[in-house]
Structure 1
């Protein structure tokens, strides 16, 4: 069955619960299912592409604290994880506590029940039973260097420092990346036994040491589905591209319009064309208002790996729209032409079925949207 014959589904995580939007194959009509977990903070809601039925939700609840919920039937029924991500306690009972799970990534296609999770404060966890039990993964949670690198953003990130952008190479389950805000981008080629910082070429805030991972703040890192040797990054200090085996990131965001800049959070890569990318800039001025520049929101699209960028705002508010888009809240489907979707900090869900040439509002008046992902249920 081709993507044209399938109906995409949107999985929307918000500050007050989660919603599932079922679309028709033409992506013209959407039916809302929800809310799920009304009142709970849902940071990420992800469909397992390996079975098309399993959903994982990263939740922060008022009475259960940080936890993971799992559904084997597309959200009809949910069960809490028997052992959610938690840091190992020291011998004297001290140690860090997970504030919330921030990021969920399904494992490699050949590892049917494997999932990875990134937490706030920064921690990396893995489940090998479909998300029911979680254990610390690799050595980084308690490694002295990583603990030092994690320390610089304890009070600087609005909802806490976090580990995110967990990437699994589709060619090799032992080839992994993750990013930390703060703490930089890191790569493993041995299944997580060791990780190496990948910081060359990345800029930091003026006056700080760019060789120290502590001062690096990647916002979102994406691997190209059509070329896993190419990575894109939306950073606190610009938009970058990395073409392996090279190790130096190139700042492609300098080609963005100067009045807009290249600061933002989300980044989407075309699933079939590694040269095509979308970003959603925000105002990165001196006081970091975290709004759309000049109250005029727009996506920007490149067809040539970041050499040139085109503004795409048809259908979006032309003025006085001061929302922005969080790092997990923009995604695409696999149709041709590509469908793009994003959720806003003011609770609007937007979509485009013509690769960003025009936008329409799918839903309004939701809580603040933290994440939007897509999938095709089976």
Structure 2
């Protein structure tokens, strides 16, 4: 690995934070698309050259831009994600391209996108043209509309996970809708929400209507999934279909509510979360204004606080679902961006933290990239 780049999407544009493999010095470049909301920016790990970015430029509609030179030049998709007019979509229009996910390693050029309002789209030409996944958008989604409730910014489709063993095996999640699985490339879907609390629903054991904030599949153990939900932290071990609430082991005064969840790429039992204040008013800040990351090394059976170097008080920010990531170095590096525009990093798996950039706009997403030389 010759260099590390952090891809940062913000409320007012995109930034790139560069370092060599030693991670000793960092250099910030950008902004790209200044003034435009950038919800997600991802480098294709299959070619390590294709960079996709989901944005809404000013008053114009949402779209996708592509770059093959780390943002030096950009090309807009000729056919961005859009709902086709039909009775099923009720003339819905895409408001935000919220989530971008490279396809399976066996399918170069394939990408998936999740949108607000919820929709699932697929590209087979590197992100230039996008088509709906009809099994989700026209078969499953009409049945979900009655349960999907209003949330700040609108309900997104997010956490698109592809089983590394099978390109046809997909997981997606919808905020205030739930998590869903397909084993036939998106033609058919089933709910995968058993065991997940839904404290805000009249029926707490409802099959759908749940509010997953972030779902992650482990790349080396794809039968292991983790979830940070509106109502707790969970683990799922397939072929089981019932989630186990591992957040009960978190300190009672902190709770297990938050947005992001990050997995150690080499250890299925190690993961990190960033808790936020989950009291009745949902202030969406660090509990008590004292931010901390929590790590588990035993699959969620126990948790340890990691706040060395972070502010000790009056830090009233939180971390959004796409704004926490890990690199693949040894020891592992961790990075998160805050709603106050700070980018924090750890080069020792969370034991110590250092502010790498500050005074950015509100950070929506942070992704690790290792570009090709």
- The two structures have a TM-score, normalised by structure 1, of 0.96
Unmatched runs of 5 consecutive residues or more in structure 2: none
Match of 1:43 in 2: 39
Match of 2:126 in 1: 130
| Corresponding residue to 2:168 among 164, 174, 180 | 174
RMSD: 1.5
Match of 2:141 in 1: 146
Matches within 5 A, 1:108-257: 108-143=104-139, 145-155=140-150, 157-257=151-251
Deviations 1:249-274 (A, max 9, x none): 00000000000000000000000000
Matches within 5 A, 1:94-109: 95-109=91-105
Distance in structure 2 (CA, Å) of the matches to 1:126 and 1:306: 34
- Give the SS at the match of 2:62: strand
Deviations 1:147-172 (A, max 9, x none): 232444442x1100110000011111
Deviations 1:279-312 (A, max 9, x none): 0000000110000000000000000000000000
Distance in structure 2 (CA, Å) of the matches to 1:135 and 1:12: 26
State the shift of 1:214 in Å: 4.2
Match of 2:305 in 1: 311
- 2:214/2:260 contact within 8 Å kept: yes
Distance in structure 2 (CA, Å) of the matches to 1:374 and 1:275: 21
Moved more, 129-138 or 363-372: 129-138
State the shift of 1:6 in Å: 3.3
Match of 1:260 in 2: 254
State the shift of 1:180 in Å: 0.3
- 2:135/2:189 contact within 8 Å kept: no
Match of 1:70 in 2: 66
Deviations 1:111-141 (A, max 9, x none): 1100000000000000000000000014221
Distance in structure 2 (CA, Å) of the matches to 1:327 and 1:293: 17
- Give the SS at the match of 1:118: strand
Superposed structure 1 runs of 4+ greater than 6 Å apart: none
Match of 2:286 in 1: 292
Give the 3 Å change call, closer, same or farther, for CA 151–46 of structure 1 in structure 2. Answer: farther
Deviations 1:225-257 (A, max 9, x none): 120000000000000000001111000000000
- The two structures have a TM-score, normalised by structure 2, of 0.97
